[in-house]
Chain A
Amino acid sequence: MTTLTPDNLQDAASANLADDPRRRAPLVTGDQDFASVTETVTHLALRKPPRAWYIAFGISMALLGLLGVLILYLILSGVGVWGNNQPVAWGFPIVNFVFWVGIGHAGTLISAILFLFRQNWRTGINRFAEAMTIFAVVCAGLFPGIHVGRLWLAYWLVPYPNQMAMWPNFRSPLLWDVFAVGTYATVSLLFWYVGMIPDLATLRDRATTKIRKIVYGLLALGWRGSNRHWQRFEKAYLLLAALATPLVLSVHSVVSFDFAVSQVPGWHTTIFPPYFVAGAIFGGFAMVLALAIPARQWFGLKDLITPRHVDNMAKILLGVGLMVTYAYATEVFIAWYGQSPNEQFAFINRAFGQSGWAYWVMVTCNCFIPQLLWFGKLRRNLWLLWGVAVAVNVGMWFERFVIILSLERDFVPSSWGQFMPTWVDMGMLVGSFGLFFTLFLLFCRYLPMVAIAEVKTVMPQAHAGHGDKQYDDVETDESGTADYRIP
């Protein structure tokens, strides 16, 4: 076992294990000062974006167009354009829904929970993780909406007084979903937006065109950086963080109820809520990594999203991956231990039945591949890390697919069937990525990708003894490392 010494740690740009925070790798590298950080981040929003942006945007717009056309086709003909059937009445749309809701977890997790736990390394990544959350939730919200047979009546899911004197059925998990996802989307959006206000003011101040000036001006809500503004901002941010934290856990728990509350063998298990939350964090972190690695490369954010950030995320990915693996194992164990023949068969069938291949794709991607992250060397290989992150995303999509496929064989063998996706299913899955990336690229282009103000607080310059003091109320610990200014 190698001994960790301050020396070899300092070498590593990703070092963060030292007890002495001074020994940890800095969270902003390069010769960045406040001005250059501002310039680095606003550069993308205010200047001409790199060519990579245009190419990526073109591709995702094309995919978004495909999604639009397919939705139109769906509305004009019927949900039969998908591969859904008897007995698999839910197919890709619900798989995609759960997948995207899962992705939508990491942003708020990074923002809120890491914020409350004072994990200051989150500053480099929280903004676009939050943005990713919002866009993932947009994608997620789309699918249950269009998956219903008569989508023009989907508003009946909402309780409101009506001439039919009908209320929705509050016993149905689908209704809980409506509330859970709705609340989550609202709070996440607010959290994201509130956190962005100081940076929007920065953009406003640096904007060159009139339209931008006005739009950023309106969005910045008249932010002037006064003490009072900061104080209220921080209070609001803290409150929203506290509000969002339980939601991170509740949303996917509620989504898991769609399955857990039913009596389909393979769905009806009590482990689903924690299992789904773990899975969601797993998938979400993987997606953050999958986005962050190219983003820091193409958009010049290497100094703000440092190897230390990436390494931290990789470790979390590994940790959550183990939780997910544990959940898979528990599921199988309980099926055996519970001695319900239906349940037992559901798991045997999952692994060795007609669609067993999907199960093994899931296990490989979610359980085996992340084990590579035990090795620091591999963690620091960005290409490989990116590959792992993508594999985890694939695996997490398949996890939901495998769950849906439980429907193929339930209680009555005469009704066993097989699910085969149609080209429309495929097109919509790909199209949803188009929607996600279109929104994400627009975000990169027009909004501050990194929380400028927050990053500055973790820079040495923000602290006593470093250059010009910008703030009077900065608390510093003995080491001189700044922490969040929480009253």
Chain B
Amino acid sequence: MKKFSFGFNKIRKSGHIFALKVRTESNGLGVLKTFIVLLLIALQGLLLIFSYTYFLQTFKWYFIFSLCISILCCIYVMSSDYNGQAKSLWVMFLISCFSFAYIIYFLSDKHILFARSRMKYNRIYDKIKDLQPTPDFSVITDNKAKASCKYLYNAGQFVFHTNSRAKYFSSGVQLFDDILQELNNASSFIFIEYYIIAEGILFNRIFNILEQKVKQGVDVRIIYDDMGSHGTLKRKTKKKILSLGIKLEAYNRLVPIFNIALNLRDHRKLVIIDGKVAYTGGANLADEYINEKRLHGYWKDSGIKIEGLAVDNFTISFLTQWQFITKKDVDFIPFLYRGEKFEDNGIIVPFVSGPNYLYSIAQNIYLSEIANATEKIYIMTPYFVPDETITNLIINKARAGVDIKIILPEIADKKFVYIVSRNNAEKLMQYGVKLYTMSTSFVHSKVLLTENSAIIGSINMDLRSFNQQFESAVYVNNSSILQDVNIDFDNTLQHSKWIKDKNKKRNKLYFRLLAGLFNLISPFM
């Protein structure tokens, strides 16, 4: 809103054709920091290119050497667990640009890039593998739910719970109102893990409570993603938080060094209170998520609260991440087995996903739930960039007569990704998939609902969420939650436009070309 006026204040009209505009604060420091970091990274990139060119001129046999390395990389890629599209793209790239493609491959392959980190995670997992009892799957009568529970347990030791309770929230306001209430009741520990923590009204409200709780002797630990919270959390504020006695740690600290690992993000949204209550969902700790700040129209979000022993799944995940970041041994036992035992409420499995696991848990559980659906598949997501496996599965399900509805935002937060998402979703319309966009809103909820189950959490329907990001979610097979999620879908649909063929977005040619290119390289990202 504010513009440089060079001393000629208040002599001109705004020129904007609007009646009103809601003020949204922006942080100038964030812009400066971004500029400095990008500049330093660009300088290092240039240095790398110069070194490479020099190396190329002095070493005669380089081309043969690079060709051999590229062929070895191709063999490795073909035997890896990448999907077909990613494999063919990598092989094509490695062969056609063999003189430098293998360097990019070494820098960006998550198996190589994350190998050391995964070893560290595995050491933690070995230590904690017996913390939770082996579940008895025979108590699950529904075979589809049993398969999903078995998968989640085998993939990441996520135990299913039937004696825990869950509550669905259809907006950020409802979610954070409940979080604030529960934070007031905390007596032992509070663990918070967010992708974005931004100063503002919500931040002040939460930190006001946390300050009081620390004074009462409550152990408060916070993990934030340094990239996500970059420009939203000032250094001064971080110092203040630390001075209060709150333990604050950043995941993947943003440093001005050329490092592709910065592409990995902690996208989880977790609040764990006393090991009795836990929350996850799409909303970050920032004002736009509760519509106190207006960025892209109405901000539609969702979340889920779990109570009982199921909270332990999240507590273990948080402490694992904490131990990984701080590199200090953590005693998990004092923080576990605190949840109340409720009457049978259906199956609840809190789970996390991330590059630390060998396979993409998020993608596989989405695949499994979509494959299991026979009546309906409802998806609410801000970004829709699935790989060909999910796309083909959705097409097959639509052809089999399953009612498939996808709700996307009407307003884009990232215009380019939005165009790609719309393109991908519109392509499915010809097979019978119904596409909706929520009017004047940005849908940030990440919910998958079928007739059997719901997955509510931080997982976007895109390859970044599936492969590059740490995510958190809850698998539920509880009739009352399914009903609540269904009601939320119905309400959202009432405020949404059904996109039919004639309303298809006609994008400019260069956008369509770029979208095609983006889809092509999406497995790399």
Verify that A and B bind, or say they do not. no
Chain A interfacial positions (CB closer than 8 Å to B): none
Chain B interfacial positions (CB closer than 8 Å to A): none
